[in-house]
Amino acid sequence: MRKIFLAIILVIMACNSPENQTKLDPGDPQFSEKARAIHMKSIVVDTHIDIPYRITHDNVDISQRLEDGHFDFMRAKEGGLDAPFFAVYVSSRFNKPGTDPGAKGGAYDEALRIIAMLDSVVSANENLAAMATSPADIERIVGEGKIAVCLGMENGAPVEGDMQKLEDLYQRGIRYITLTHSKDNHICDSSYDDRHTNQGLTAFGKELVAEMNRIGMMIDVSHISDDTFWQVMELSKAPVIASHSSLRTFRHMERNMSDSMLVALAKNGGVFQYNFGSYFVTDKYGIPAESYWSVRDSLNKKFKDDHEKAVAMFEEYKKIHPAPNPDIDEVVRQLDYVIKLIGIDHVGLGSDYDGVNQVPDGLEDVTKYPDLSEKLLALGYTANDIEKINGGNLMRVWKEVEALRH
């Protein structure tokens, strides 16, 4: 009902004659109201939210407004987030033994555990949310005034070389798979792993691309190596997604996508979902921040009996080696860049909320999506453009992939 009501408001606003209507400027309260109405009318899809990890490790109750982190159902409603993809993240330590020195196996069972947990969480909050396994489900659930929870799996290790397990995961609600995470696995190589074990896709990985196309499951190219990406582009008969990636032009790391990769993804018909994590957004933040983890670990070991001293010295280190945090304006600038590069039909949002330590100023949590829409409107993007970025493009790709299931 909310979406219908806001659509009526926008129609009324559009019907006001130019003679009786002064042009609204950014900063005008009415401009903000218009932007919020456009945003709330959109079906807003975020393809990567890591709240399942927090539910497991911090035992958070997402039916309540949380004081920390980035997501809960209350804040999602406030920010107009209609369809979050919860990341079924399976750590690389569960990879097939032999693919990495630290791999112990058990990935499929770990994925099923997380899925069962999320089923329970959503069922316990049926007044707020429901599981969605198709774009039609999203439209229906949102029409009921609820949040449509979708599932994507981060790391293809749970497939375990068995196409029946792939189908089982589909039946359990998984609708995209990020082929790997931080380590090379039995499917392909990771952008984070210097070994380049497979020089891209394995023989099974190539078969998996075809099978995911056949069953109508989206292929996610975030986290994979460049060689893997180009091989997926050559093989996939369906549009693919980058569920949570940023731009290599602004943050030089293989985890991000180069301009040539983005152009290829658009040619494939896919969609690039922009990652908000500050570490991925700019070199100015990311390069200094790279040293923070190792320095903090080193100090914690050195002063293991004096935690306060370790913390104080780490804070002093950060003052000497600052990492200036990007802001929402930088994110909008980069969105504008990539839209001009590959077109309005191929860009969306994949925040990585609750999976990153730092996010840009002005995008502190899921309540801030309307501010992003307002910034885009101020830059000259139309209501239709904003609706595409907010979720329309992802919905289009999902429908196209779904139509190939046979």
Domain count, the chain: 2
Percentage of the residues of the chain whose pLDDT score is greater than 90? 90
Taking CA atoms, 220 is separated from 29, 36, 208, 350, in Å, by: 39, 30, 12, 12
**Whole-number Å distance between alpha carbons of 6 and 294:** 49
Is residue 7, in this structure, part of any structural domain at all?
A: yes
Residues 224 and 366 in one domain: yes
174 φ, ψ (degrees, to nearest 5): -70, 130
Is residue 338, in this structure, part of any structural domain at all?
A: yes
Residues 341 and 371 in one domain: yes
Taking CA atoms, 249 is separated from 273, 279, 329, in Å, by: 16, 14, 17
Report pLDDT digits (tens) over 276-289: 999 999 999 999 99
Across 191-213, average pLDDT: 98
How big is the chain, counted in residues? 406
Q: Is residue 169 scored above 70 in pLDDT?
A: yes
Quick check: 220 and 240 in contact, CB under 8 A?
A: yes
CA angle 239, 400, 261 (to 5 degrees): 15
Residues 332 and 316 in one domain: no
Is residue 237, in this structure, part of any structural domain at all?
A: yes
Question: What per-residue confidence (pLDDT) applies to 18?
Answer: 42
Report pLDDT digits (tens) over 240-266: 999 999 999 999 999 999 999 999 999
Residues 107 and 224 in one domain: yes
Residue with tokens 């990341």: 87
Is residue 141, in this structure, part of any structural domain at all?
A: yes
Which residues lie below 8 Å from residue 58, measured CB to CB, with a gap of 6+?
Answer: none
**SS3 category, 1:** coil
Report pLDDT digits (tens) over 180-199: 999 999 999 999 999 999 99
Residues 316 and 362 in one domain: no
pLDDT class for 10, splitting at 50, 70, 90? low
Quick check: 325 and 361 in contact, CB under 8 A?
A: yes
Residues 131 and 274 in one domain: yes
pTM of the model as a whole: 0.92
Across 207-229, average pLDDT: 99
**Whole-number Å distance between alpha carbons of 266 and 404:** 19
pLDDT class for 19, splitting at 50, 70, 90? very low
Residues 248 and 383 in one domain: yes
**Whole-number Å distance between alpha carbons of 180 and 178:** 6
Residues 64 and 83 in one domain: yes
Question: What per-residue confidence (pLDDT) applies to 5?
Answer: 54
Across 117-121, average pLDDT: 99
pLDDT class for 25, splitting at 50, 70, 90? confident
Is residue 118, in this structure, part of any structural domain at all?
A: yes
- Alpha helices (runs of H) in 216-362, residue ranges in sequence order: 226-235, 259-267, 278-281, 283-302, 307-320, 328-342
Report pLDDT digits (tens) over 284-324: 999 999 999 899 999 999 999 999 999 999 999 999 999 99
Is residue 66, in this structure, part of any structural domain at all?
A: yes
Is residue 16, in this structure, part of any structural domain at all?
A: no
Residues 336 and 317 in one domain: no
Q: Is residue 152 scored above 80 in pLDDT?
A: yes
Across 25-51, average pLDDT: 95
Q: Is residue 4 scored above 60 in pLDDT?
A: no
Residues 216 and 314 in one domain: no
Domain with 311 in it: 291-323
Q: Is residue 396 scored above 80 in pLDDT?
A: yes
Question: What per-residue confidence (pLDDT) applies to 57?
Answer: 95
Is residue 149, in this structure, part of any structural domain at all?
A: yes
Question: What per-residue confidence (pLDDT) applies to 24?
Answer: 78
Question: What per-residue confidence (pLDDT) applies to 245?
Answer: 99
Report pLDDT digits (tens) over 63-93: 999 999 999 999 999 999 999 999 999 999 9
- CATH code of the domain covering residue 126: 3.20.20.140
Residues 182 and 317 in one domain: no
Question: What per-residue confidence (pLDDT) applies to 21?
Answer: 44
Residues 148 and 64 in one domain: yes
